[in-house]
Amino acid sequence: MTVKDVLMPVFRKKNKRSWEPDRLPRHIAIIMDGNGRWAKQRAMPRSAGHAAGAETFRRIATYCRDIGIEYLTVYAFSTENWKRSSDEVEAIMQLLEKYLYEALEKMERDKVKMKFFGDLTPLSPKLRALIAETESLSKKYEGVQVNLCINYGGRDEIMRAAMAFARDYKNNSNNNNEFEITETVFSSYLYSSGVPDPDLIIRPSGEIRLSNFLLWQSAYSELYFTNLLWPDFNEHELDSAISSYQSRARRFGAANS
């Protein structure tokens, strides 16, 4: 039995959508968690869990595109994930490479733009070249933008942005009065520059925390937690998350009217 055989019944389950199409979140972000536990429950190697998670990502990204989500950001590999076994890290990188090859082949048809958040320098030259090619081709298309967070950490992102701003401030020392920091200016130094903050952040696997994900950008995001492990996450659960999002009043710090 293959990973696809295990997952197919999950994605065949259909339901009547419970959300309003004119009030969709513009930007959804997902912490793809639970691959290892999913594999362990089935007495499979952790690499099989990551393969199952990659298949779920493909399906959810396609679904987001089809229903009209503008931005999808996923937490694929954190700055802390390097602490895992070398075999597991290698398996994740191989899956990423495989996905990028497939994305390049289908990009013309799917019109999906891709962008990468994180410090890519530790990745292999081959993987960095694939990422550069993917981002370059993405500039040609209009449609859903999928942001993959690779070697990403929210604290690391903020620290790098602060250092970059400080360098620019120092280099602009003759005009410091015209070089003031604001939220908008600081946001332009983040990996997510030009991308709106996520309206909805989804965390599968039963964990109730952000785990260093989009710390700056999530200040007013709505959060949705589910006990489903990521490989079992499906369109039905995404519909539930969107429905939950639409039931909430987003005030951004303002008082009730």
Instruction: Please identify every residue annotated as catalytic.
Output: 33, 81
List Cβ neighbours of 203 (8 Å cut-off, separation of 6 or more): 30, 31, 33, 209, 210, 223, 224, 225, 226
DSSP 8-state assignment for residue 215:
T
Looking at residue 256, the DSSP 8-state letter turns out to be P
Please return the burial class of 88, using the count of CB atoms within 10 Å of its CB with bins 0-12, 13-18 and 19+. Answer: middle
Helix (H, G, I), strand (E, B) or coil at 87: helix
**Strand, helix or coil at 251?**
coil
CB 228, CB 204: distance < 8 Å: yes
Q: Which amino acid is at 181?
A: I
Instruction: Using the CB atoms, write b or e for 156-187: b if 16+ within 10 Å.
Output: bbeeebeeebeeeeeeeeeeeeeeeeeeeeeb
Asked if 3 and 98 touch (Cβ cutoff 8 Å), the reply is no
Q: Is 91 within 8 Å of 46 (Cβ atoms)?
A: yes
Structure token digits, residue 214:
């989009």
CB atoms within 10 A of CB 9: 9
